[in-house]
Amino acid sequence: MSSSQRLSTRVGKRVADSFNHRKFFEIVGLRAKSSDEVKKVFLVLDADNSGYIEEEELKFVLKGFASNGRDLTDKETKEFLRAADKDGDGKIGIDEFAALVKE
Report the CATH number at residue 46.
1.10.238.10
Q: By the 8 A CB rule, do 69 and 12 touch? A: yes
Q: Is residue 9 part of a domain?
A: no
Please give the residue range of the domain that contains residue 63.
Answer: 21-102
Binding residues: 46, 48, 50, 52, 57, 85, 87, 89, 91, 96
Q: Is residue 2 part of a domain?
A: no
Q: Is residue 38 part of a domain?
A: yes
Binding residues for Ca(2+): 46, 48, 50, 52, 57, 85, 87, 89, 91, 96
Q: Tens of pLDDT along 14-55?
A: 566 788 999 999 998 999 999 999 999 999 999 999 999 999
Total count of domains within the chain: 1
62 pLDDT band, cuts 50/70/90, is confident
Q: Is the pLDDT of residue 67 over 80?
A: no
Q: Is residue 12 part of a domain?
A: no
Q: Is residue 61 part of a domain?
A: yes
Q: Is residue 36 part of a domain?
A: yes
Q: Is residue 3 part of a domain?
A: no
